Amino acid sequence: MDVVCRYILFSMILNIFVQSLSLCIAGKPEDADTPAHRKERELMVETQIKERGVSDERVLQAMRKVPRHLMIPESRRRQAYGDHPVSIGYGQTISQPYIVAYMTEVLQLKEDSKVLEIGTGSGYQAAILAEITTNVYSIEIIPELAEFAKSNLYNLGYTNVHLKEGDGYEGWESEAPWDAIIVTAAAEHVPPPLIKQLKPGGRMCIPVGTPFGTQFLQLVEKSQDGRITTRNLMPVIFVPLTRKSK
């Protein structure tokens, strides 16, 4: 083998080695947040969220930043930025991007707001909240989804989300009161423990209605003197709020 052939062969082997090393460092393509994904998120924000009236720039920036596709099962990642919910297994879904953004905006969070989420799911809504406030607590009743969310949030570096497996209907009394509560599954009524744990001046956004029937997204507000007011915001369709068996 002459010098030229040896050089070509060496170059080919070196190129294959470098490409393999790059894949090992970067991970599988589907595990990455690529410029194409970021472009999809920008389009999602512009066409699905801003055009429908969500204007809080902190919410819009969070929706642009959090890689939604990395927080759903790999088999469904191509659906991540569509204008619809996406199944995450166990009869649960990750909500439509617009609904996530709208519910977050309704809470009127501040940087130091202490917020409780009922229904962690894949961890996506919790990640959006964590981009806005430093105090996020979330409860998930399905053990497998609790682990899925924990892994997703850890992999994306969210250290300000506190997770608990349990019955979200009962809230998280030891950490109450809450400046805001967001419920991501439909209850037949607003759970009294959540009203009790809401801080005076606090807000709760919750879908209320019959399972797979008529539901309305409601804004529940507690005044400084403890009075409760409830207002219907829009008709919605959410999976039912799951309870532990008595």
* Alpha-carbon span 191 to 206, nearest angstrom: 10
User: Whole-model pTM?
Assistant: 0.86
pLDDT in tens, 220-237: 999 999 999 999 999 999
Cβ contact 97:83 at 8 Å: yes
Q: Which amino acid is at 141?
A: I
Per-residue pLDDT, averaged over 173-181, amounts to 98
Which domains does the chain show, CATH number per domain? 83-235 (3.40.50.150)
**CA 103 to CA 46: how far, in whole Å?**
17
In tens, the pLDDT along 72-119 reads: 999 999 999 999 999 999 999 999 999 999 999 999 999 999 999 999
Max Cα-Cα span within the chain: 90
The confidence score (pLDDT) of residue 227 equals 97
d(CA 63, CA 188): 29
pLDDT-based confidence at residue 52 (cuts at 50, 70, 90): very high
Sheet holding 198-209, edge to edge: 161-165, 135-140, 114-118, 178-183, 198-209, 215-222, 228-235
Q: How many residues does the chain have?
A: 246
Residue 212 · residue 234 · CB < 8 Å: no
How wide is the angle at C-alpha 203 spanned by C-alphas 197 and 208, nearest 5°? 85
State pLDDT tens for residues 204-213: 999 999 987 8
pLDDT of residue 246: 58
Classify strands 228-235 and 198-209 as parallel, antiparallel or unpaired.
unpaired
* Residues marked as catalytic: 95
Is residue 196 helix, strand or coil? helix
CA 195/CA 221 separation, integer angstroms = 9
